[in-house]
Structure 1
Amino acid sequence: MAATYTPDILRKLFQSSFNLTQWYTFLQYFFNATELKEGPEKIIGSTSDNGYYLGNIDTTDSYRIGLFHYNITKGSVANRRVGLRNLVKSFINPAWGEFDAALVVFDSGDHWRLSFICDIKGEATSPKRYTYVFGSDDLLYRTPIERFNFLKKKGISFENLKTAFSVEALSDEFFDRYREQYADFIQYITGKRFVKVGSKWEEKRLSEPNAALMGAFDYNEKKIRDYVKKMMGRITFLHFLQRKGWMCGDLNYMQNMFENSLYKNDYLDSVLEPLFFGILNTKPAEREALFADYDWDKSLLNEWKDIPYLNGGLFERDKEDEPESRFPADYFKRLFQFFSEYNFTIDENDPNDAEVGVDPEMLGKIFENLLEDNKDKGAFYTPKEIVRYMCQESLIAYLETNTSIAKDKIRQFVLSPEEGVKDIPENKKPKLLSALENVKICDPAIGSGAFPMGLLNELLHCREVLSGDHYDRAEIKKSIIQNNIYGVDIEKGAVDIARLRFWLSIVVDEETPSPLPNLDYKIMQGNSLIESFIGVDLSKLTYEKEYKKDKGEISLFDDEKNRLQKTVSHLLSSYYSCNDHNRKVKLQQEISDTINKQLEAQAYDPTILARLKDINLAENNKFFLWHTWFSDVFNRDDDKNGFDIVIGNPPYFLYQESHVGEIADLRSDKDYTIAFGGKLNAYKLFIANAVKKLLSTNGINCFIFQNSF
């Protein structure tokens, strides 16, 4: 009978609501269950859900897999990650014997999750759960169908089951296919493509460039690559959004919209751009006027009336969006077909609890691997487990330093907040919560945002268990992003992706759409190592408390600097949550004008001032104004001026002759003396920068760097 499970029958099973009778048949004939109970046996145990034992499978390689089924309610244990350890305990029953792993269905009525849970013996390792979510009749479920076909061919062994539920294999396959789509668009414009020659990628000219598009981008291939990356990033974001049901309630909206469009041959300018700029970036009341300005098809306004206004900046029109960009219909047809074959999971996967699908962390992997020259810049993708380890250890060290709670209790609390909170004395909890609310964290080479995202998740878990029963998860996340997290990167593409991940992390927990915060001045482009310009120190634009202590008095000149910096701080704070487009533009202008006044107050040489005015101070690759943009960190109320945690995976590359100008700037800065001597590697400069410039007293620095150190 197993042979009758064709791809179509599997698809039907996965698209339907959960049916216990059908599941019994599937366990019997597909999984060759060794034992199936006449009727499900209720689990009496530590979970509040209705759990049942169905039987077991002895695999071909002699593992014993327990079969379970849970009926779950909203907010139930099985739905929440915190319950995994407790859930596993409830599998242990003397009547059923021991299991090496479990195959568990969690049925919540509308959707059902099929989880493979392994590492369930003993306390030494954390149990791991890998999950497919089923029950949507408009999804194709290509991955589980392919994986289950693989199981049918290869046989039900423990190793094959792990492969069938593997997230890593999916990540690699998705990335390879994404890169092909990206390369298609690049080749259409430039005629060039990176092809693999042996083990290396080499750029080859394979066709004629598109003269009109090349001209529109000033023949600048980096601009073209950034543009295509951003376009595909926006489209990817919308696939996460449709998973929330926010794209007209259709889980496959993006593909269906393309299939039904009258504008397939001019899809970017006629459909996607009106959607990006006229809908997602525009309040409903202002949409009609904008459509008239750009002469977009007004009939789309009605079709899109339920799509939310998002704010945030991801869908803001910038100068790269201005040129007319026309691609043959086939390019978008292939792109949407490719995306429609994958399950987009809106939540960033936890190393111990992963949904099999494309999660927002994938955007990071794409970014780190898509930059053709990334390896030359020393940028590398950091595995999730390492990110988590570093984030937890940094947070433990910070809390040990900033609370009077015993070290073993702090460690237990950070590693397992639900369990650890029980051992924190009641009178110490307010101090612990305050330390979590006030921590300042920075990644000075943020890349795609892995480390700040990791710390966002750790802070969230810790704050949830200290917040009692009544808290709003999305609000806690927004407050962490606003008050605790900062990031800088020299690459504009990295900053775009990092912001994207933070927006998605908020969207995950929103029941209904609300405008996203503006991250323009939280995660910023700049050269982290340099706060000077042609030899002129730019860190003194702000008036600092330290300075006052040294001098004992303030001159009128310092008073003026102080007033201007307070104005900047106030404007930055207003900008973060402003969701009115015209007001945002006005605020940006005011911020820029005030900083120019600060520059003038410094009485710099007029020629230097003139040159600085030609540089976008908020977004460039020459320097970064730490003390201006992040003045709240360097002028803290608690007198700990600087960051509590500086964390990340800084670039590693040797400085060459081509960097000679930058080396001169760095060599003249006494704070970098410790980095010179021997070969000059970028990571050494990042360590010096963290230790000497960025960290507060007793701050924590946690970097990955080469053992040549």
Structure 2
Amino acid sequence: MKNLRQILSSPYHQEDWISFLKELFAHNSGTGVILQKPQRIELPKSEKVREAYELGSYETTEGRLIGIYQVNISEDMLLYRNKVGLRQLMKNIYKYNVDGVLVVFVQEKKWRLSYISEIIKEVDEKGKIIKEITNEKRFTYLLGEGEKIKTATDRLQLLVGKELSLEDFKNAFAVEALNNDFFDRYKDIYEDFVQHITGVRYEKKGNKYIENKKHQPHPNFDGYKDYKDYPMPHPDSETKLFKNREFQNLFRGNEKAVRDFVKRMMGRIVFLYFIQKKGWLAVPKGKNWGEGNYNYLYQLYKETPREDQPYFYEKYLVPLFFECFTDKKSESEINEFRFPYLNGGLFDKTQDQHFDKVNLPYSIFTELFDTFKSYNFTVYEDAPNEHTVAVDPEMLGHIFENLLEDNKDKGAFYTPKEIVHYMCKESLKISLLSKIVPDNNQSEKAKDVITKIIEHQPLNEDEKSYVKEKGNIITTSLENVKICDPAIGSGAFPMGLLQEIYYIKITLQQLGITTEQTDAQIKKHIIEQNIYGVDIDAGAVDIARLRFWLSLVVDEQLPQPLPNLDFKIMQGNSLLESYQGVDLSHIGEDDEVLMDEQMSFDFGDSYKTAKQLAVFSKINKEQIQKLMNEYFATTENKKVKLKEINNIIEGKIHTQIYLEKEKVSSLTKEFFKKFGLKSEQDLKGKIDLGSISEKGKEYKKYLANKKRLAELDIIEGELLSFQTKIERPYFLWHLYFKEVFDKGGFDIVIGNPPYVSTKGISEEDKPLLEYEFNFSDDLYNHFFFKGYQILSNKGVLSFITSKTFWTTQTKRNLRDLLLSQRLEYIFDTGNPFESAMVDTCITSFSKIKPENNTLLFLDGSKDLEKPLRYEVTQNVFIDTQNSVIFKPTEYNMKIHSLYGKKVKELYERWWDKISASKNITKYSKELEAYRQSLQPGDIALLGCLTEGGQGLATANNGKYIAVRKSTKWAKNILESRPKKLLEVVKRYKTSVKVANEEEAKDYLATLSEERIATLFDELKETFGRDIFGQGYIYRLIEDDEMADVETLTQDEKDNGIEPTKKFYVPYDKGDKDGNRWYLETPFAIAWSKENVGFLKSNSGKKGEGMPVVRNPQYYFKEGFCWTNVLNPQARLLKTN
């Protein structure tokens, strides 16, 4: 009998596979039944399926049944293209109810082993099926000749001789473990390359990447681990010793440039592994495409002569990257070996032209190629319910969004596949329905049919007829839909929509509604006509383009030049269409129209000249769109066309700056005219005589305009220089995507905007955001407004973001925006990200007035796959105070119906009178009269009842307040304490001896929490109350140190708890931003007799460190923290 490795790496033989199955279940007490003779299954006639067999079954340890089958399919059947047909086929094969399926799909020399799980969703206590599902999940190994089978062999071998559960089967096919393993090894190799050049390695500490200096930059060739200069001949000289200066000379000491270079180099190698899978590398003379060397890259590395190994990148990879795939001659049949011409793009040398001779150790390449050799690569991107246990193009996105430490600063996180596909499907469904039923009277039939098509479910005859009836509308809608991700990252969302549109077009073809096209033609058309994206990170743009190229390569039978995506997926700051106060949003508009309508007054005598310049720019503007469209498919003279485009853009910039200068210049001329001035000398004379005051508004305005004119010269130079750079700090939406805005904007805006809070935005960027949006806030807030701006009427926007906007005061503007549009759904997704410390939600709205809209609210915070579903009218949120958003549970809706409108009315009546302590004093008589009029059961605002001012202020939070270790706040304290300690040690003479943050962290790790608190108390007492920063909290306590508030006596509540008992009680220290509406407080106060005695006896006394105790009648009451929501001065001690 063949061993398992031999079976999996050979063409499929039924006898060999059955022998393995018998071995697999041999020691399982008769729970596995393998039929002596496979039973043929009668199937409906099909060109795609030749025959199917039942091979046996297996009963798991839970008593669940796994069916075992074999299906022989025709050579031309594409499994990934026939999801509906495959699902229907498997239903015909199941002869009895099964909980899972182990099935072999045989296709010539290749075969697939799939495990299909979750065929039955629910069973009762006796195991009886209650409800079946059709959304089963399929996990697949690619097997047979030329496939890497190490993972499959190892995983299946673990099952032999074991009592198996459903979980065992699922684990044997788990793709997550493979992805994580590949990512970890890839990341280590990436860091090895970066460290070699820079001497620096980024290593993860907790949830952050920390830069660690490992050594000075140097060659570090094989065998030289002591990091000394390596004396060897320089590549250009036999006598000159090579001393590494490339970090400074080639990369100018820029670590980011090194990281980007390594990322591009490794990305190219990965891309070639996918191309290699097609059999397109080193195709021998006389052989066809597809018959190339499937192991070419590994052999190229392995067969490198020893003397060339130190120069492997320079002598082998550089020619391969920048000559083979960018030269049409590489495809010539006269060559001994052929390589595909791929038309530059990823292999464009522009960014890396200075790095040919960068010195990279052969030992790291050894690690890289040995790693890649052990994995299977597939060019197919999986759907959420389709998992190939192999490295696929989506992994490139995962690598990008999780690998680079600077992405964490940008707030970029990899979006789980399930969420991507849900958002893509729902957005496309909403968009299509708006076209099919434009009056918004969405019929159930339209919704059902479109849903079935998008979910790849079979249609009945009536539904097929409906699709044919609406065929023209559906086809036209798909042809014209414009999709944009303004924070495209690695391209997950546009790639998801590409796949969804592709599958719908396949369905339309199969129904005879559209003419037959190849898969590559369909996808190329979608990329050219439908997909757009922008990202601030050029590296993200590289990866996104790479994934789209791969999506085309997978379906080509013969190599084709890849399209140029330079003007489809672009680098830029999506949020800014201005630069240094110069508005660039009109740069793509009809300048002549702008002049006539807006600027003739501003320019005065210069209007005629400016208008002539604008007309010239208009001619170029029409030409630029034509050039960008042509550039997509250009294979020759690309640089010439690109230069033409850039020349026109430069002309547009010149025009814009000229108009800006003339506008400012006309204002300075007006100033001179008003005061009868002919020169600066005249101006100086009038200032000396006192006719013009240097403190006057008009003179100050003149100086500002004069300064602005000088700035505009600098700005013009910077704008022109950006045309030749890889990254730009703005994006010209209305120029680059002019064809979209000429038709009203994008139909679908979708994405996962960066998770950067206001604190993470630089001081330089805040005024730029304020100029663009009239406010500065968390970036995701700005992305909602930008998304709304670029969205067409009736277009749909879908973002996954932090859900802090539900209640936060500073996000009221965002809630007002969302509630002014038709909300389609809100999906509370909890925290689906591996590393992001943020709770998220998906928000989707259409750019239509709501008109008594009812939206879907999904709560997946506990179970993302089975969210709780609610329907709620949009007015519920509009009628709530501050228009807050909340989960419309039965309990919450009862509260809303009782208090929602009443509280809002009370706000409108009383807020101005209680919004500050001075107002409470001012309106004290009116408030007192109101209090006297209240009856038991009446609803009132707390601010109307309390004494104005702070409720409880300890004046020394560090001493009295602690944070529970079980809460998220504790993490912030653990991270900040070493920094705070180090700052004090550096500033004062202390007994603590630590030199850096790492030492401070290690030192604190040796101390108990009690000792740490005592140390910080002593340092404060010695050097001052605010040495760690005003109000800094450093105490951490366990949950079991908390007192049981329910059992406290009234005396303990009033006067404190004995120190021999647990004396910490829940406390809310307030929130000046009003961000917590209802939240279990992470804080606790030491409510000991000693502390309470001090607080009460010193309340209100003058001097530093004196506390305030006010409104004690509200202490120990359950309720909300109403800081800055009801009364900015109120504090409420809470018991929950």
TM-score (norm 2): 0.57
Q: Which residue of 2 aligns with 1:29?
A: 23
Alpha carbons of 1:664 and 1:195: their partners in 2 closer, same or farther (altered >3 Å)? closer
Q: Which residue of 2 aligns with 1:231?
A: 265
Q: Which residue of 1 aligns with 2:633?
A: 577
Residue 166 of structure 2 is aligned to residue 131 of structure 1? no
Q: Which residue of 2 aligns with 1:682?
A: 779
Q: Which residue of 2 aligns with 1:586?
A: 640
Secondary structure in structure 1 of the residue aligned to 2:798 = strand
Equivalent pair of 1:441/1:484 in contact (CA under 8 Å): yes
Greater RCO (Cα-Cα under 8 Å, separation 6 or more): 1
Q: Which residue of 2 aligns with 1:340?
A: 373
Shift of 1:698: 1.3
Secondary structure in structure 1 of the residue aligned to 2:418 = helix
Equivalent pair of 1:278/1:287 in contact (CA under 8 Å): no
Shift of 1:398: 0.8
Question: Can you list the C-alpha shifts for 1:511-558, whole angstroms capped at 9, x where unaligned?
Answer: 111100001111111000001111011111122599689959997665
Equivalent pair of 1:31/1:156 in contact (CA under 8 Å): no
Alpha carbons of 1:489 and 1:37: their partners in 2 closer, same or farther (altered >3 Å)? same
Equivalent pair of 1:312/1:517 in contact (CA under 8 Å): no
Question: Can you list the C-alpha shifts for 1:480-539, whole angstroms capped at 9, x where unaligned?
Answer: 000100000000110000000000000010011110000111111100000111101111
Map of 1:159-558 to 2, 5 A cutoff?
A: 159-197=167-205, 200-210=208-218, 211-215=244-248, 216-248=250-282, 249-262=292-305, 263-284=308-329, 305-323=337-355, 324-404=357-437, 406-416=446-456, 418-419=458-459, 422=464, 424-468=466-510, 470-544=516-590
Shift of 1:149: 2.8
Equivalent pair of 1:418/1:465 in contact (CA under 8 Å): no
Shift of 1:329: 1.6
Amino acid corresponding to residue 746 of structure 2 in structure 1: F
Q: Which residue of 1 aligns with 2:72?
A: 71
Q: Which structure 1 segments of 5+ residues have no match?
A: 289-300
Cα separation, 2, equivalents of 1:125 and 1:82: 11
Shift of 1:110: 1.2
* 327-336 vs 360-369, greater mean Cα deviation: 327-336
Question: Can you list the C-alpha shifts for 1:132-174, whole angstroms capped at 9, x where unaligned?
Answer: 11112x4442211221232237543221110110111111111
Q: Which residue of 2 aligns with 1:293?
A: none
Alpha carbons of 1:38 and 1:78: their partners in 2 closer, same or farther (altered >3 Å)? farther
How many residues are paired up? 673
Equivalent pair of 1:72/1:78 in contact (CA under 8 Å): no
Cα separation, 1, equivalents of 2:428 and 2:742: 22
Equivalent pair of 1:417/1:465 in contact (CA under 8 Å): no
* 182-191 vs 476-485, greater mean Cα deviation: 182-191
Amino acid corresponding to residue 156 of structure 1 in structure 2: L
Alpha carbons of 1:559 and 1:43: their partners in 2 closer, same or farther (altered >3 Å)? farther
Question: Can you list the C-alpha shifts for 1:560-604, whole angstroms capped at 9, x where unaligned?
Answer: 443221111011011110012xx1000010000011112233324
Alpha carbons of 1:191 and 1:610: their partners in 2 closer, same or farther (altered >3 Å)? closer
Secondary structure in structure 2 of the residue aligned to 1:652 = coil
Secondary structure in structure 1 of the residue aligned to 2:168 = helix
Cα separation, 1, equivalents of 2:640 and 2:332: 20
Alpha carbons of 1:431 and 1:549: their partners in 2 closer, same or farther (altered >3 Å)? farther
Cα separation, 2, equivalents of 1:18 and 1:158: 26
Alpha carbons of 1:560 and 1:380: their partners in 2 closer, same or farther (altered >3 Å)? same
Cα separation, 2, equivalents of 1:321 and 1:553: 45
Alpha carbons of 1:438 and 1:661: their partners in 2 closer, same or farther (altered >3 Å)? same
Secondary structure in structure 1 of the residue aligned to 2:158 = helix
Alpha carbons of 1:513 and 1:628: their partners in 2 closer, same or farther (altered >3 Å)? same
TM-score (norm 1): 0.90
Cα separation, 2, equivalents of 1:550 and 1:428: 45
Shift of 1:59: 2.2
Residue 736 of structure 2 is aligned to residue 629 of structure 1? yes
Q: Which residue of 1 aligns with 2:756?
A: 653
Cα separation, 1, equivalents of 2:790 and 2:173: 43
Residue 154 of structure 2 is aligned to residue 146 of structure 1? yes
Q: Which structure 2 segments of 5+ residues have no match?
A: 121-130, 219-243, 283-291, 438-442, 601-610, 662-711, 806-1136
Alpha carbons of 1:37 and 1:484: their partners in 2 closer, same or farther (altered >3 Å)? same
Cα separation, 1, equivalents of 2:741 and 2:475: 22
Alpha carbons of 1:350 and 1:546: their partners in 2 closer, same or farther (altered >3 Å)? farther
Alpha carbons of 1:658 and 1:73: their partners in 2 closer, same or farther (altered >3 Å)? closer
Equivalent pair of 1:52/1:70 in contact (CA under 8 Å): yes
* 112-121 vs 451-460, greater mean Cα deviation: 112-121
Equivalent pair of 2:591/2:615 in contact (CA under 8 Å): no
Equivalent pair of 2:41/2:53 in contact (CA under 8 Å): yes
Amino acid corresponding to residue 588 of structure 1 in structure 2: L
Question: Can you list the C-alpha shifts for 1:33-63, whole angstroms capped at 9, x where unaligned?
Answer: 7222232222223573211111111223322
Cα separation, 1, equivalents of 2:45 and 2:785: 50
| RMSD over aligned Cα atoms | 2.6
Equivalent pair of 2:722/2:728 in contact (CA under 8 Å): no
Amino acid corresponding to residue 57 of structure 2 in structure 1: N
Alpha carbons of 1:334 and 1:702: their partners in 2 closer, same or farther (altered >3 Å)? same
Secondary structure in structure 2 of the residue aligned to 1:541 = coil
Alpha carbons of 1:438 and 1:546: their partners in 2 closer, same or farther (altered >3 Å)? farther
Map of 1:587-602 to 2, 5 A cutoff?
A: 587-602=641-656
Question: Can you list the C-alpha shifts for 1:408-458, whole angstroms capped at 9, x where unaligned?
Answer: 333333223653862534231111110011000000000000000000001
Equivalent pair of 2:217/2:247 in contact (CA under 8 Å): yes
* 482-491 vs 326-335, greater mean Cα deviation: 326-335
Cα separation, 1, equivalents of 2:595 and 2:564: 35
Alpha carbons of 1:78 and 1:56: their partners in 2 closer, same or farther (altered >3 Å)? farther
Equivalent pair of 1:645/1:701 in contact (CA under 8 Å): yes
Equivalent pair of 1:364/1:448 in contact (CA under 8 Å): yes
Alpha carbons of 1:59 and 1:321: their partners in 2 closer, same or farther (altered >3 Å)? farther
Question: Can you list the C-alpha shifts for 1:392-421, whole angstroms capped at 9, x where unaligned?
Answer: 111111111112373333333322365386
Between the aligned residues of both structures, percent identity stands at 42
Q: Which residue of 2 aligns with 1:612?
A: 719
Alpha carbons of 1:36 and 1:611: their partners in 2 closer, same or farther (altered >3 Å)? closer
Amino acid corresponding to residue 796 of structure 2 in structure 1: I
Q: Which residue of 1 aligns with 2:234?
A: none
Amino acid corresponding to residue 339 of structure 1 in structure 2: F
Q: Which residue of 1 aligns with 2:804?
A: 708
Alpha carbons of 1:327 and 1:515: their partners in 2 closer, same or farther (altered >3 Å)? same
